[in-house]
A and B are shown apart, each in its own frame.
Chain A
Amino acid sequence: MITWETELSKALVRGQAEKRMILLDFFNPG
């Protein structure tokens, strides 16, 4: 199962720390 970040700021910090790109998925909230 994929564990998703929910805040861009946290994802960017994690991306910098892990030297990874960020997959940003805009989904239909229904």
Chain B
Amino acid sequence: MDAVTYPNAKVVDFVTSKVVPLRVPADAQPLSSDFKVTWTPTLILLDYYGKEHHRTVGFLPPDELIPSLILGMGKADFDTGQFNDAIVHLDELLANYAKSAAAPEAVYLRGVSRFKSSHDAKPLKEAYEKLAADYPGSEWVKRAQPYSLL
């Protein structure tokens, strides 16, 4: 992360403008135990109350870190019932990082967010259809499979 990802200009711009960056050694106590950290790098996205919404373990290149963080922001919105804000974040991810590893989960979560904000089941089926068409090897196709029957 130090050699490749964090020096990247796009990462620097995103991190410094969108989040508060906090870095601690993996053996720092009690934080490491509190967050059950056993391997590095472990990246966790917290809301400003300290509640975890998203976590990754392992190296992420620049073009994966940024969409992962956007996904985390969308998950935080989703977790707190702010479904329209979640959709905005997930739209941003899918518009700019459609080939990233975070994209299939974003399609799934966007479909669910649209359903939660509209109570219309159509977005769930649309999410399945997009996953099946664009990300056929993704685990998220399997998770969305029941929506194909709607």
Contacts and interface: CB of A to CB of B under 8 A. Distances in A.
Given A1-B7, A27-B1, A21 B23 contact: no
Interface string B39-73: 01111111111100100000000000000010011
Contact of A26 (B18, B32, B73, B76): B32
Task: Summarize A's interface: helix, strand, loop or mixed.
Answer: mixed
A5 B48 contact: no
Nearest to A11: B22
Given A25-B43, A27-B1, A4 B21 contact: yes
Size band of the interface chain B makes with A: 35 or more
Nearest to A29: B25
27 contacts: A2-B11, A2-B12, A4-B23, A8-B24, A8-B31, A12-B50, A18-B20, A21-B46, A21-B48, A21-B53, A21-B73, A22-B46, A23-B43, A23-B69, A24-B23, A24-B35, A24-B45, A24-B46, A25-B41, A25-B42, A26-B26, A26-B28, A26-B40, A26-B41, A27-B23, A28-B41, A29-B27
Task: Summarize B's interface: helix, strand, loop or mixed.
Answer: mixed
Contacts of B132: none
Interface string B65-95: 0000100110010000000000000000000
Contacts of A27: 1-2, 23-26, 40-41
Nearest to B76: A21
Size band of the interface chain A makes with B: 20 to 34
A5 B21 CA distance: 6
B7 to A, nearest CB: 7
Given A4-B21, A11-B22, A29-B27, A24 B7 contact: no
